[in-house]
Amino acid sequence: MAEVQRLGGQSCAYYQRGRCTRTQNPKASALAKCELLEARRKVGAETLDRLERLKRLADPEDREVARRHVIQKNLTAINRLSCAGYVPARNDGPLCVHQHLSFCLLRLPECEGRCEHYLRRRQFSEAGWVGRS
């Protein structure tokens, strides 16, 4: 008997470079986040918190010295962060080629062809938007 093959999912709105970006559940979404981005966010939030606390310093010069120190510490901490799968999207940029929004495509499931959640991607043509409304 002939094997029935699924159509490819390339035209699905959730399809990104072979992966399915459709949210499965909150836990799976959390596990699929880009760890480098999350770590940078955490360092950034700590830096903002420190900078906020500097406002308590009465002397403007002390404040400026402390501000530079905090910013330098932030840069050092950010530069130390790494991810084994990181591949720069551009030669000099911080973005990883595997990053999609806040997710890591490598951590998302592969699209194995059109499934019941398939959602036709909208495309713009001279006649206007086609696909889902």
Residues that bind ligand SF4 (CB under 6 A): 9, 12, 14-15, 20, 22, 34-36, 83, 85-86, 96, 98-99, 104, 106, 111, 114-115, 117-118
Helix (H) or strand (E) holding 91: none
Closest CB to ligand SF4 among 63 and 114? 114
We find the least distance from the C-beta atom of residue 43 to ligand SF4, in angstroms, to be 14
Closest C-alpha among 80, 86, 52 to residue 66? 52
Q: Rounded to whole angstroms, how far apart are CA atoms 133 and 18? A: 24
What's the closest the beta carbon of residue 44 comes to ligand SF4, in angstroms?
16
Q: Which residue, among 3, 35, 15, has the nearest Cα to 99 in the 3D structure? A: 35
Closer of 65 and 89 to ligand SF4 (Cβ): 89
The answer to whether 111 and 119 are in contact (CB under 8 A) is no
Which residue's CB is nearer to ligand SF4, number 2 or number 101?
101
